[in-house]
Amino acid sequence: MDQAASSPLQEELGRAPSSQELKAYRQKRRRARASLSSCLPPEPVTLLLFYTYAPTPMSKHRQTEAVRFSLNSLKKNNLTGRLRIAREGYNGTLTGSKKGVRAFTASLEMFDCATFGNQRVDFKYVDGLPHNQALKGLKCWPVTEIVTYGFDPRDAPLDAGGHHLSPQVFHAALTDPDAVVVDVRNFNETIIGRFAPAAGAQVL
């Protein structure tokens, strides 16, 4: 017999409860807990945005392992959204509780230290969003590219990229009247913020 459930009922009845009485008591407690949960305000939502390239491309087997591990961790921490995993890296737009989101990113650091360890990835956390901004459903799947460009990755090797600008140099570059800024973020990423064109600047 379940002592945790029978003790308060036994005190109430003044005797040991029957199996039928104990079953009815357990059902009553479950309904009470469900009613209490429905009365609590929804927990605020945290939005997580990140993408990162692995130091070296994963093997096909390692990519499969990464998808399996990430999907299990996402489900364990009750996250929703989309996570694309290519042999070149990861790209995620996810939502969940503040605690759950950070537990997930911590699990990535343990699983793939070479990519996520030592704070190599700048995870973007947006806490305190209303519950209705939680993403619907969950999908974690293997892809060819973490950002789809539609050409062979060999035509754009990672070591042939442009020059990284510090925040100070970037803001100085914005003052160039001939500067062109291309904002390629998606809708969820613009929740964090967006570029404000200078007065008189042309928006394409």
The pLDDT tens digits along the chain (204 residues) read 455 555 676 777 777 878 887 888 888 888 777 665 555 567 899 999 998 999 999 999 999 999 999 999 999 999 999 999 999 999 999 999 999 999 999 999 999 999 998 888 999 999 999 988 999 999 999 999 887 766 666 776 666 767 777 888 888 888 888 888 887 776 666 766 666 766 666 766
Provide the pLDDT for residue 85: 97
Q: What HEC string does the chain produce?
A: CCHHHHHHHHHHHCCCCCHHHHHHHHHHHHHHHHHHHHHCCCCCEEEEEEEEECCCCCCHHHHHHHHHHHHHHHHHCCCEEEEEEECCEEEEEEEECHHHHHHHHHHHHHHCHHHHHHHCCCCEEEEEECHHHCCCCEEEEECCCCCCCCCCHHHCCHHHCCCCCCHHHHHHHHCCCCCCCCCCCCHHHHCCCCCCCCCCCCCC
What is the distance between the alpha carbons of residues 46 and 57, in angstroms, rounded to a whole number? 30
Is-above-0.75 flag for pTM? no
- Reference 130, options 43, 40, 37; nearest CA is 43
Q: Which residues pair with 139 in a beta bridge?
A: 82
Provide the pLDDT for residue 203: 67
Provide the pLDDT for residue 27: 84
Provide the pLDDT for residue 107: 96
Provide the pLDDT for residue 10: 73
How far does the chain reach from its first CA to its final CA, in angstroms? 72
Helix axes 60-76, 98-111, angle to 10 degrees: 160
What is the distance between the alpha carbons of residues 94 and 48, in angstroms, rounded to a whole number? 5
